[in-house]
């Protein structure tokens, strides 16, 4: 998702860096101006890496900057048809690309450098409707562009084409390219501009030697799946499924599904059912149909993370019951099936409805607990663990590894059931029966009572944890609020397991984030009474700025904890847009916070 914002005039922002305190080592804070304050400035934030790309105006011309580094001056930035597509980022967030016009030529710009140029003539909107023009491969190593002149009167006048890493392919390319998940292979179709009946499949820049449509690579890029329609002299058209040009199946229709890893694919095929009307679908394994897989409807398809297992939703008769076909074996029929997933050891897990009751099914075992609705916090943990929270006719329960525990309280949010990072523990939030105080229950044991103050949901489109988070080492949970059960008395603080750390009158914290090694803890504070935003590290404020400049930080990609434990975020100040990097010092951390926190009893 791209974030596009118009930055208007702001109240002057305050920039403060606080890095020293008695007994507290210095944290390194780097603040880099990455874009100026300009009325009408348009900016984009990378999905990873917290990079800011801005379109700035220089007189009548435009310059695109990334983290303050300018690209070439251009006369116009071309819009492919949607504002969020003007700038495109690589999957790792480290590269960016766009198209622009310079005089009567259009150019492609990748990573701030012009990489391609072509005459425009009278058409300065050649890319409109063409989708994201400059795109990147899944591994972020390669870039490619699609050129199409939408105002050309004849196909032969100005044929379309793809260019991969700047090398143009054959003329007459159809829009739509398949890139292998490893990012190293690509395929697309070319229609001869002089003969629309002649189509060529281009693979890795060269003709494939056979014709196939709807190309799709398997996960490791070793095989290319395509289909083509054959029209016999008599009878209905037939769809052929091919692997690298070799026909492996013939059917009325076919759908190819690729698992996340591995070299295979799951193929669904159909035949015309003359008696019932419509198609009958089945699963193809090798060259044979999987027994008992024929269905009126077949799909969607789910794969395990290792690509070794699959599940397909099946409806045998129109309006009839549904079931899953798992690794070729049809499971029990139900009224409805939902929330399908696999554990890390390859067991399928899903919600199943029978009449008014819902069950959790693990493998081929139906849970003993019957739930009253599908609002269940179904979760999986390392080691094949399965857990969930929900309501039954006998009250609310939490079920972990098949063992049910009745909740003497009120489950505030069933989606707050989560396993710890190492999978050995679990937690959920439960409130008191009459409201008021609540607690984080860990491994079924209620924690200390507190008046919870939810973590603010600060980033549109991203659902951050609301009630609590786990520490990376799985030792404790962290939540925020006031101690006891008598309401908010003006004091707030952090609960780190069974210890409480007062935070004064700070009523809201945002986006708490541990460093990956669990040694440090960052969070942001909405200090609304002062109109400020504050960034804290291990109990000390390290940065503050005017609350009006927080929009870049709230955008997806604008607040990022790196694998190296460095927090990077973006804000707008009176000096301009800034990219802030905070590196923790060696003399403090979560252990110091725990030492300062007070033990509290449940």
What's the average pLDDT block by block, 10 residues per block, for the chain (602 residues)?
A: 37 38 66 91 92 93 95 87 75 94 88 87 45 82 85 71 92 92 96 89 96 95 94 83 94 93 92 75 87 94 96 93 96 95 96 92 91 82 92 84 82 76 92 69 84 82 85 94 69 90 86 95 83 90 90 91 96 94 88 89 66
For residue 83, the SS3 value is helix
Predicted TM-score (pTM) of this structure:
0.87
- Residue 51 CB neighbours (<10 A): 23
Contact 567, 582 (CB under 8 A): yes
Contact 200, 209 (CB under 8 A): no
Radius of gyration, alpha carbons of the chain: 29
SS (H, E, C) 516-553: CCCCCEEEEEEECCCCEEEEEECCEEEEEEEHHHCHHH
357 backbone dihedrals φ, ψ, rounded to 5°: -110, 150
| Token pair 């504070």 in the structure block, residue | 525
Residue 492: the pLDDT is 87
Residue 400: the pLDDT is 94
Buried b (16+ CB within 10 A) or exposed e, 363-401: eeebbebbbeeeebbbbbbeebbbbbbbbbeeebbbbbe
SS3 content of the chain, % helix, strand, coil (to 5): 5, 50, 50
Contact 181, 217 (CB under 8 A): yes
Strands 385-392 and 379-381: antiparallel
Residue 470: the pLDDT is 96
Q: Hey, what are 419's tokens?
A: 């396993």
Contact 108, 62 (CB under 8 A): no
H-helix segments, 456-510:
none
Contact 146, 157 (CB under 8 A): no
Residue 384 CA from chain centroid, whole number: 23
Q: What distance in Å separates the CA atoms of residue 531 and residue 527, rounded to the nearest whole number?
A: 6
H-helix segments, 128-207:
none
Return the domain boundaries, the chain: 49-90+92-138+140-181+183-197
Q: What distance in Å separates the CA atoms of residue 508 and residue 525, rounded to the nearest whole number?
A: 6
Q: What distance in Å separates the CA atoms of residue 445 and residue 176, rounded to the nearest whole number?
A: 54
Residue 23: the pLDDT is 41
Q: Order of strands, edge to edge, in the sheet holding 559-561?
A: 28-35, 576-583, 567-573, 559-561
For residue 592, the SS3 value is helix
Residue 386: the pLDDT is 96
Least Cα distance to 76 among 65, 60, 91 occurs for 60
Q: Hey, what are 125's tokens?
A: 């909107």
Residue 1: the pLDDT is 36
Q: What distance in Å separates the CA atoms of residue 135 and residue 163, rounded to the nearest whole number?
A: 11
Cα 481 to Cα 426, 439, 456, 583, distances in angstroms: 21, 10, 12, 27
Q: Say how many residues make up the chain.
A: 602
Residue 464: the pLDDT is 81
């Amino acid at each position: 998702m791209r974030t596009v914002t118009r930055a208007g005039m702001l109240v002057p922002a305050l920039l403060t860096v606080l890095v020293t305190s008695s007994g507290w080592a210095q944290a390194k804070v780097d603040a880099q101006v990455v874009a100026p304050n300009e009325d009408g400035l348009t900016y984009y934030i990378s999905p990873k890496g917290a990079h800011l790309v801005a379109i700035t105006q220089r007189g009548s011309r435009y310059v695109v900057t990334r983290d303050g580094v300018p690209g070439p001056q251009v006369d116009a930035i071309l819009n492919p048809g949607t504002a969020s597509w003007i700038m495109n980022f690589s999957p790792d967030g480290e590269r960016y690309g766009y198209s622009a016009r310079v005089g009567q030529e259009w150019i492609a710009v990748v990573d701030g450098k012009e990489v391609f140029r072509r005459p425009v003539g009278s058409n300065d909107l050649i890319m409109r409707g063409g989708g994201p023009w400059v795109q990147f491969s899944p591994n972020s190593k390669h870039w490619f562009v699609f050129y199409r002149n939408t105002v050309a009167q004849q196909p032969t006048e100005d044929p379309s084409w793809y260019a991969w890493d700047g090398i143009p392919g054959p003329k007459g390319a159809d829009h739509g390219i398949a890139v292998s998940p490893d990012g190293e292979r690509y395929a697309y179709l070319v229609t001869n501009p002089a003969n629309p009946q002649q189509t060529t499949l281009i693979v890795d820049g060269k003709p494939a030697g056979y014709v196939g449509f709807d190309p799709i690579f398997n996960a490791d890029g070793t095989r290319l799946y395509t289909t083509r329609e054959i029209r016999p002299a008599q009878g209905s058209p037939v769809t052929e499924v091919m692997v690298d040009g070799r026909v492996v199946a013939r059917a009325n229709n076919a759908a190819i599904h690729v698992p996340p890893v591995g070299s295979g694919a799951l193929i669904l095929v159909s035949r015309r059912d003359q008696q019932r009307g419509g198609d009958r679908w089945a699963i193809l394994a090798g060259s044979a149909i999987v027994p008992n897989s024929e269905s009126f409807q077949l799909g969607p398809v789910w794969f395990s993370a290792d690509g070794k297992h699959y599940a397909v939703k099946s409806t045998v008769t129109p309006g009839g019951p549904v079931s899953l076909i798992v690794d070729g074996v049809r499971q029990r029929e139900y009224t409805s099936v939902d929330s399908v997933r696999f554990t890390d050891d390859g067991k399928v897990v899903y919600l199943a409805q029978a009449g008014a009751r819902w069950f959790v099914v693990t493998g081929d075992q139906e849970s003993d607990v019957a739930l009253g609705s599908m609002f269940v916090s179904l979760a999986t943990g390392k080691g094949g663990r399965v857990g969930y929270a929900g309501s039954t006719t006998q009250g609310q329960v939490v079920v972990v590894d098949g063992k049910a525990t009745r909740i003497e309280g009120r489950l505030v949010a069933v989606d707050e059931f989560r396993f710890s990072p190492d999978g050995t523990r679990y937690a959920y939030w439960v409130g008191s029966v009459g409201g008021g105080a609540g607690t984080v229950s860990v491994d079924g044991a209620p924690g200390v009572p507190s008046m919870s103050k939810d973590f603010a949901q600060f980033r549109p489109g991203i659902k951050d944890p609301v009630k609590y988070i786990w520490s990376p080492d799985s030792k404790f949970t962290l939540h925020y609020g006031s101690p006891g059960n008598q309401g908010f008395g003006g004091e707030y603080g952090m609960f780190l397991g069974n210890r409480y750390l007062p935070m004064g009158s700070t009523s809201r914290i945002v986006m708490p984030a541990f460093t990956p090694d669990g040694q440090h803890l960052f969070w942001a504070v909405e200090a609304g009474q002062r109109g400020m935003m504050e960034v804290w590290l291990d109990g000390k404020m390290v940065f503050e700025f005017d609350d009006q400049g927080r929009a870049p930080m709230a955008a997806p990609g604008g607040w990022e904890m790196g694998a190296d434990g460095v927090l990077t975020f973006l804000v707008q100040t009176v000096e301009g847009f800034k990219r802030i990097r905070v590196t923790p010092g060696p003399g403090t951390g979560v252990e110091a916070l725990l030492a300062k926190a007070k033990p509290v009893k449940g």
